[in-house]
Chain A
């Protein structure tokens, strides 16, 4: 049973480009969460999705950021027109429900140059 799969592990983008981060949840998990972690900082919630629905996007910047979890395929976090401040580790987690804790993927480390 594969865990939460994220790709790519490392992503380098120039300012102004788009970044696409992918996350496949654990088998049987229908809840997906995206978190961002800046160097020496804690995990900050961005968005919570279930299949085809955004449940809570209160932690996601209103501009340039979007997320989806289609009926088929992985969840995608998209950052348009990246800026240096977007450089961070982006972690995806999945669960059967928050009461049981989350399983995290290995993360995508985004570097904007």
Chain B
């Protein structure tokens, strides 16, 4: 089983739609969780950390379910500029490198 698994997509949604991505992780001892965004041929950029209680940043909401070992990202009122690949990222222990999922591709269509 892969350490971090994501549906590769693509998710093609119209502007204004709400879209949700899920990600599962294999190591129950994982400590920190993040969503990154990567545009085509660019570097990944931190979108948001994911906290146990769930957290929101504008149109973006992240949630963590430790019992089921999955993380979700919800994007409301999608914009064309949201088109990118969204990477689910997990830190297993404090001093170990982050593990990246392969990403979910989102295309927001006018």
Residues of A bordering B, CB below 8 Å: 33, 35, 41-43, 45, 48, 55-56, 59, 89, 91, 97-99, 101-107
Cβ–Cβ contact A99 & B91, under 8 A: yes
Q: B52 on the interface (CB 8 Å rule)?
A: no
- By a CB distance below 8 angstroms, the chain A residues around B41 are 89
Question: What separation, in Å, do the CA atoms of A41 and B100 have in the docked complex?
Answer: 11
Question: Can you list 28 residue pairs at the A/B interface with Cβ under 8 Å?
Answer: A33-B97, A33-B98, A42-B100, A42-B102, A43-B87, A43-B100, A45-B99, A48-B96, A89-B41, A91-B44, A98-B95, A98-B98, A99-B31, A99-B91, A99-B94, A101-B32, A101-B34, A101-B36, A101-B46, A101-B89, A101-B98, A102-B46, A104-B43, A104-B44, A104-B45, A105-B43, A106-B42, A107-B43
Closest A residue, CB atoms, query B92: A98
Q: A108 to B49, alpha carbons, bound, how many Å?
A: 26
A98 to B31, CA, bound (A): 10
Name the one of A97, A104, A105, A106 contacting B94, with C-beta atoms under 8 angstroms: A97
Q: A56 with B96: in contact, given A42-B101, A99-B31, A99-B32 (CB under 8 Å)?
A: yes
B101 contacts A55, CB within 8 Å? no
Minimum CB–CB distance from A101 to chain B (whole Å) comes to: 5
Which residue of the partner chain, among A41, A42, A98, contacts B97 with CB atoms under 8 Å?
Answer: A98
Q: Which residue of the partner chain B has the closest CB to A35?
A: B100
User: Looking across the interface, which residue of chain A has its beta carbon closest to that of B44?
Assistant: A104
CB-based nearest B residue for A47: B97
Q: Which residues of B contact A98 (CB under 8 A)?
A: 32, 91, 94-98
* Contact (Cβ within 8 A) A55 B46: no
B22 to chain A, nearest CB (A): 16
* Cα separation A98 to B98 with both chains bound (whole Å): 7
Give the Cβ gap from A105 to chain B, nearest Cβ, in Å. Answer: 6
